Structure 1
Amino acid sequence: MVDLSVEIIVFEILTRASAKVVGCSKSVCKEWYALLSTQDFAKIHCSRSLKSSNQRHSLTCSVYPIDIRSCDYGPGTIVDFPFNDISIHSHLDGLLCVCLDSTFELLLWNPVTGAYKNLSTPNFYCFYENNLDAVGLYIDASQDYKVLHIKRRCGVYGAHVYSRRLDSWRNIPFITRPEYIRQSFYWSSGTLCGDTLYFTVSESYIDGVNVVICFDVNLVQFKEISFPPVPCNGIYKGELLNVKNELHMFVSTGYREMSIDLWKLEGEY
């Protein structure tokens, strides 16, 4: 029997293997891990992963680490893309909460490992409707990853929390103004900052109502705080982001001539 060198195994055999096999092969030894993590391997594997027109297509995605200070990309990892039609609604620590656009099911997906968990249940927990529902990922004081799913259905609203540790759903009290249930209001995805998930709630009319809904992840309670003071002579939109554990909001106003302001939350204002 002829012994094959590591380079032949890696660059001639594993570059033709599936992303799942490549991921498992990284755990063989440190040498394999180093070779399989190089950009050269990624480029060759990507080129050989392309299917001809008479073969069944298999979708892949590339995951790249980014240095926050320099904004440089690190070596990429190619993984199988297990879905054909998804929309991403929330993210936290590398986990993505996505919706299958064909079935409206919500899933937790780790694109680095390719592992995913379907959160839907037979009693229709975790079926998502675009433009009506809102979700947010968070981690509580017990270090349990959870998904908050706010649902609006024909004048009825509710909130459910999925626990990754318990692998189960539960209803939680959700008290808000009745008008926010109307379809004219748009709920953003949740942005985690400190121990709170924040959602913008905006009415899609000129001079419409705009507020911020807060969810305390440890007290499991909702409350409402004011939107930044912006001109009330048009439609405007707020985008939330966490900067060094402080909540900021980009507010865009105008249509043909748009202006963008950056606000920071201090206390409840």
Structure 2
Amino acid sequence: MKARWFVNDDIPTNILTRLSAKTLHYLKYVSKEWYNLISTRSFIRLQLKTKEPLSGFFFQEIFQWADVDDMESISYIPVEIKTLNVFRTVLNFLPEPIVILSSDNGLLCCRSCLPSTEPKLYICNPLNKQYITLLWPNLSRNCSVGLVFDPFQNLDKSTDFKLVSVSDIEVGDDDFCFVFDIYSSKTGLWRRSNERCQCNHSLIKNKGVSAGGILYWLTDGHQILMFDPQNELSWLVETPLPSTEMNSVPEMCIGECENKLNYVIICEDGLQLWALEDHFSNMWCLKFFLSLEELEKANSDFLYDIKEKVARRYCRDALAWLDPLAFKDWMLFLRVSGNVYLYEFESGRMKKLCDVSTLGPKSMFSPIVVPYAMSLFPLG
């Protein structure tokens, strides 16, 4: 039933485009007219002008040191609700158990759990439960796949995206380089890029993010691998703080905020947030710094003696007591001992999200953690 107090669609469009994607998803079912209005790409384009808030984090446990079957359990942890809650069926609309690979502007990239007789890739929108299936030719379990989706490109025609699969190959005695396979939704084909990046370090699983249309992966050599899928150009970006200057092993992760790559590090000096201003000149800007003493004082309900605990970690193989796992839009997902928290940089406060034990028996070591912001985009 069409609302009688609206003379035309201009007024409801002006009001509704100010709302979040989650709210609009439910408002679609108010009436047929609203469903048709909110589902149009022109409406979605207008709604994009409002920055979509971070919705939550997808969490998946993995086996860290063994090439064995994938773990099928996936948890979704929202950030906006006040009560502690973990949802385990958000991705059950997909036809098989999957492993989450990456996310960009409301879309998720996943692959079949291995072993599988015919492994596939899935690009999906968890909000509207739409997905498309891609073949996964010649890609190994150890490759890292990044998703790039620019919602402002070809918005009135289709939802175009690119996938970049990164793997390392040996090019000489103890010398390795990264190679890049690119999939374009426009062509529906995979192809090997001519670009190569020589590097003898390994990618750290689940540390790849998209920022401003460029993909970044954190390596175990305190460098960040960059790949620009538009120009097919790669680069190794030095991290802002050399580990040689630290007495203990630092913990770090990378993420995206305001279309820039961000680097979060926790070390004996404190919690720091850096933004990459220019990847070719390794130009970083320190956006935030807080000593461990100040961090503990502001969050005394959750933290105690953290300076001593951070300083005691001398070995990379030892379990970190304070471990940043994912970052997006001024929000940090981190594990503190056996609990998972959200740290808000703007307020300086922490909020408990859940116990690690509720996320599975293999959740302490190197889990997959992918930030997610909802989107109305249809696939197709």
TM range (shorter): 0.5 to 0.7
Structure 1 residues 49-95: Cα deviation after superposition (integer angstroms, max 9, x where no partner): xxxxxxxxxx9x9998x8xxxx469xxxx785325532212111221
- Which one of 179, 188, 191 corresponds to residue 158 of structure 1? 179
2:126 maps to amino acid: P
**Structure 1 residues 253 and 128, CA, compared in 2 at 3 Å: closer, same or farther?**
farther
**Structure 1 residues 185 and 96, CA, compared in 2 at 3 Å: closer, same or farther?**
closer
Structure 1 residue 147, shift from structure 2 partner: 0.7
SS in 2 for 1:148: strand
**Structure 1 residues 87 and 234, CA, compared in 2 at 3 Å: closer, same or farther?**
farther
Structure 1 residue 176, shift from structure 2 partner: 1.8
Matched-pair contact (CA < 8 Å) for 2:252–2:263: yes
CA distance in 1, matches of 2:252, 2:76: 30
2:143 aligned with 1:96? no
**Structure 1 residues 156 and 241, CA, compared in 2 at 3 Å: closer, same or farther?**
closer
2:137 aligned with 1:119? no
SS in 1 for 2:101: strand
Structure 1 residue 112, shift from structure 2 partner: 2.3
SS in 2 for 1:175: strand
Structure 1 residues 205-247: Cα deviation after superposition (integer angstroms, max 9, x where no partner): xxxx210111123211101111121443443343222212232
SS in 2 for 1:179: coil
Which one has the largest radius of gyration? 1
2:162 aligned with 1:146? yes
Match in the other structure for 2:235: 223
CA distance in 2, matches of 1:159, 1:252: 31
**Structure 1 residues 185 and 110, CA, compared in 2 at 3 Å: closer, same or farther?**
closer
2:257 maps to amino acid: V
CA distance in 1, matches of 2:91, 2:120: 22
Q: Could you state the TM-score of these two structures normalised by the residue count of structure 2?
A: 0.43
SS in 2 for 1:97: strand
Matched-pair contact (CA < 8 Å) for 2:211–2:259: yes
Match in the other structure for 1:248: 262
SS in 2 for 1:173: strand
Match in the other structure for 1:238: 252
CA distance in 1, matches of 2:169, 2:197: 15
Match in the other structure for 1:167: 188
Kindly report the root-mean-square deviation, in angstroms, between the aligned alpha carbons of the 2 structures: 4.0
Structure 1 residue 163, shift from structure 2 partner: 1.0
Alignment of 1:39-188 (within 5 A): 71=80, 80-83=92-95, 85-102=97-114, 103=116, 105-121=120-136, 124-125=137-138, 127-129=139-141, 132-139=142-149, 143=154, 144-152=160-168, 157-180=178-201, 185-188=203-206
Structure 1 outlier segments of 4+, above 6 Å: 61-64, 153-156
Match in the other structure for 2:218: 200
**Structure 1 residues 32 and 170, CA, compared in 2 at 3 Å: closer, same or farther?**
closer
The answer to which structure, 1 or 2, has the higher relative contact order (CA under 8 A, 6+ apart) is: 2
2:208 aligned with 1:190? yes
SS in 2 for 1:190: strand
Matched-pair contact (CA < 8 Å) for 2:177–2:199: no
SS in 2 for 1:219: coil
**Structure 1 residues 261 and 186, CA, compared in 2 at 3 Å: closer, same or farther?**
same
**Structure 1 residues 84 and 226, CA, compared in 2 at 3 Å: closer, same or farther?**
same
CA distance in 2, matches of 1:112, 1:128: 29
More off after superposition, 101-110 vs 86-95: 101-110
Match in the other structure for 1:262: 273
Q: Which sections of structure 2, spanning at least 5 residues, go unmatched? A: 1-25, 37-72, 83-89, 155-159, 171-175, 284-380
**Structure 1 residues 172 and 201, CA, compared in 2 at 3 Å: closer, same or farther?**
same
Q: Could you state the TM-score of these two structures normalised by the residue count of structure 1?
A: 0.58
Matched-pair contact (CA < 8 Å) for 2:177–2:196: no
2:180 maps to amino acid: A
Structure 1 residue 96, shift from structure 2 partner: 0.4
Matched-pair contact (CA < 8 Å) for 2:222–2:242: no
CA distance in 1, matches of 2:227, 2:263: 17
1:166 maps to amino acid: T
Structure 1 residues 137-188: Cα deviation after superposition (integer angstroms, max 9, x where no partner): 11369553111111236768531111112221111123222413xxx55254
